[in-house]
Amino acid sequence: MMISEVYHVAQGLTDLLFPPRCLACENTPGGDTPFCHECASRITFIGDALCPSCGIPYGTAGGDRHLCGDCIIAPPPFSLARALGVYESILMSAIHRFKYGGKTAVGNALGDSMASREYDSLHVAGYDLIIPVPLHPSKLRRRGFNQALILARRIAKKYRIPLDFTTLRRTKPTPAQVKLSGDDRRKNIRGAFAVETKRAVEGRRVLLIDDVYTTGSTVKECARVLMRARASEVAVLTLART
Ligand SMILES: [Zn+2]
Ligand SMILES: [Zn+2]
């Protein structure tokens, strides 16, 4: 028997003994997402009715592709931002299990979903470098893993793009953004990141990965320092956005 056959038999046996579960409920997944049909139907995947710059979804499909108010007032430092789905119900509970419940297997499956999706105007294969939004070392110690790195690793693996999780560093332990308003988030995050070695990003097209895009203040600050280190482009891909 070939090694690949042994692997398939072993995998088949594992699936039989421990059938994979939907990431949100206990049912068996179907189709090509790690969710069961019922749960998958409750996820709002983001289509092409969005702001071409920051990717905020518009309610109606097929509307004209105009910039949103925020991007007109303050053009973001990234070229574009896209997300897999809206941060609500099923996707939100899966992210919570991953991030706060420490279920890294859920994170791997979510990363695979991000990697296999096609995005409006964002062609993952065209990037030179994948960089996850870093956590401050003190937070990393508390959580035990960086959720953005787990997602980024799956995308980098699928597209065979180098993954760099050391060049961009979080130098300031910032309080959680969750309870802050947009303006306070921006002030809170200013100067929180640094590029360790400029040479690593200079002239490169960088794809920045994070779990959730809320006001975008975190990814904007990361994009700003990467562009200042002379990256040729920074695009953003997140799992979900509010
Ligand atoms: Zn389910
Ligand atoms: Zn926008």
Give whichever of 34-38, 85-89, 205-209 has the largest mean pLDDT: 205-209
Domain of 38, in residue numbers: 1-42
- pLDDT tens, position by position, 61-88: 555 679 999 999 999 999 999 999 999 9
Domain with residue 51: its CATH number is: 3.40.50
Q: Taking Cα atoms as reference points, which of 81, 82, 109 lies closest to residue 95?
A: 109
Q: Let me know whether 119 and 32 are in one domain.
A: no
Question: Is 15 a residue whose pLDDT tops 60?
Answer: no
Distance 22 CA to ligand 2 centre (A): 33
pLDDT at 63: 59
pLDDT confidence band for 30 (50 / 70 / 90): confident
pLDDT of 7 above 90: no
Q: Could you tell me the distance, in angstroms and rounded to a whole number, from the CA of residue 30 to the centre of ligand 1?
A: 9
pLDDT digits (tens, 9 = 90+) for 160-199: 999 999 999 999 887 776 677 777 878 888 899 999 999 9
68, containing H or E segment: none
Average pLDDT over residues 228-238: 98
Q: Tell whether 99 and 215 lie within a shared domain.
A: yes
| Count of the separate structural domains present in the chain | 2
Is 175 in the same domain as 216?
yes
- How far away, in angstroms, is 237 Cα from ligand 2 center? 14
Claim to verify: residue 13 and residue 61 sit in the same structural domain: no
Residue 2 has pLDDT above 70, yes or no: no
State how far the Cα of 74 lies from the Cα of 63, in Å rounded to an integer: 22
Ligand nearest to the CA of 76: 2
Residues, CB within 5 angstroms of ligand 1 (ion): 22, 24-25, 27, 36, 39
3-state class (DSSP) for residue 81: strand
The reported pLDDT for the residue numbered 45 is 92
Q: Are residues 108 and 114 in contact, defined by beta-carbon separation less than 8 angstroms? A: no
DSSP letters, 164-181, are -SSSEEE-S-PPPSTTS-
Could you tell me where the DSSP H helices lie in the chain? 3-17, 37-40, 69-73, 89-99, 104-116, 137-143, 147-159, 182-189, 217-228
Closest-lying ligand to the alpha carbon of 41?
1
Q: How confident is the model at residue 25, as a pLDDT?
A: 80
Residue with tokens 């056959």: 5
- Quote the ligand 2 centre to 54 CA distance (angstroms): 4
Q: Are residues 122 and 171 in the same domain?
A: yes
**Is residue 21 pLDDT above 60, yes or no?**
yes
CA of 219 to the centre of ligand 1 (A): 30
Task: Kindly give the distance from the C-alpha atom of residue 80 to the centroid of ligand 2, in angstroms, as a whole number.
Answer: 9
Burial bucket for residue 19 (CB in 10 Å: 0-12, 13-18, 19+): exposed
Residue predicted with more confidence, 190 or 1? 190
**Residues 99, 126 share a domain:** yes
Cα of 79 vs centre of ligand 2, distance in Å, is 11
Question: Which-ligand-closest: CA of 90?
Answer: 1
- CB-based contact 42:89 (threshold 8 Å): yes
The ligand placed nearest to the CA atom of residue 213 is 2
Least confident residue range of 54-58, 149-153, 156-160: 54-58
Write down the mean pLDDT value for the chain: 89
Same domain, residue pair 38 and 51 = no
- Total Cβ atoms within 10 A of residue 27: 14
Contact 114, 84 (CB under 8 A): yes
Q: Which ligand is nearest to the CA of 39?
A: 1
Do 54 and 19 share a structural domain? no
Q: Distance from the CA of 146 to the center of ligand 1, in angstroms?
A: 25
Same domain, 161 and 107: yes
Measured distance CA(201)–CA(129) in Å, rounded: 8
Q: What per-residue confidence (pLDDT) applies to 27?
A: 83
Nearest ligand for residue 89 CA? 1
Same domain? 125 vs 31: no
Same domain? 74 vs 96: yes
Do residues 69 and 115 share a domain? Answer: yes
Taking the centre of ligand 2 as the mean of its atom positions, its distance from the CA of residue 31, in whole angstroms, is: 32
For residue 8, the CA-to-ligand 1 centroid distance in Å is 25
CA of 74 to the centre of ligand 2 (A): 9
Q: Which ligand is nearest to the CA of 81?
A: 2
* For residue 89, pLDDT beyond 60: yes
Residue of 242 and 163 predicted with greater confidence: 163
Give the global pTM: 0.88
Q: pLDDT above 70 covers what percent of the chain?
A: 88
| Cα distances (angstroms) measured from residue 74 to each of 14, 68, 196, 212, 216 | 51, 10, 27, 21, 12
What are the tens digits of pLDDT across the range 92-122? 999 999 999 999 989 999 999 999 999 999 9
